[in-house]
Structure 1
């Protein structure tokens, strides 16, 4: 369980597999395009707040506090759906992103440092 108090439904909390510090990874994806925007971290209470407010809420590992995406920047994430992965250790949030998702001001956290990789091809039969 999370070390911080939480109002998360026990039926959900009991299913989560957390890191040693009580967190689960949370991926934000643009709901209509499929664009992967960012990865953040949630504890039970951040997930509760996300599920009950319609706004993406994260736990800041560096500041040790909750933050609602866009509360200060205006770059909000409005929840469209939330799902757990098959291992129950990652949350996928489909969101409507307003403005930049990345703290650097970029639309996504994954467009700045693209690595060179061999493009794989599916074998033909």
Structure 2
């Protein structure tokens, strides 16, 4: 199979995901109702396939080196409503309906702190 051209990938209508050298691409989970970014993770081909098959967000755990179904232990699944693809197809936006907190800390979003000078402040609400 030949490599897709830049024009095919950027302007065409065929899904041609561009995985990095480790076989991963970035996946950004966004709340379908609030549009808040909930989390950023990585997907390999298997995670992408499982997500598309089941409608539940699957990722590749870099620390464990294996497939990870978001919510498999917590019950806080991310139901995928839509998958958006960036211009060069190396990042995905997962528009999701969260079933509970997205962050493993229990926060609604993994982005629950802001940088204030050299310290972190928790974002309320």
Structure 1 gap segments, 5+ residues each: 1-10, 118-125
Which string of whole-angstrom CA distances, capped at 9 and with x for unpartnered residues, describes residues 23-61 of structure 1?
000000001110110001000110011011010000000
**C-alpha displacement of 1:116:** 3.5
Counterpart in the other structure of 1:73: 74
**Helix, strand or coil at the partner of 2:42:** strand
After superposition, the CA RMSD in angstroms is 1.3
Q: Indicate yes or no: 2:86 matched with 1:85.
A: yes
Q: Indicate yes or no: 2:101 matched with 1:115.
A: no
Counterpart in the other structure of 1:20: 21
**C-alpha displacement of 1:98:** 1.1
Counterpart in the other structure of 1:32: 33
**C-alpha displacement of 1:66:** 0.7
Q: Which has the higher strand share?
A: 2
Q: Indicate yes or no: 2:52 matched with 1:51.
A: yes
**C-alpha displacement of 1:74:** 0.8
TM-score (norm 2): 0.79
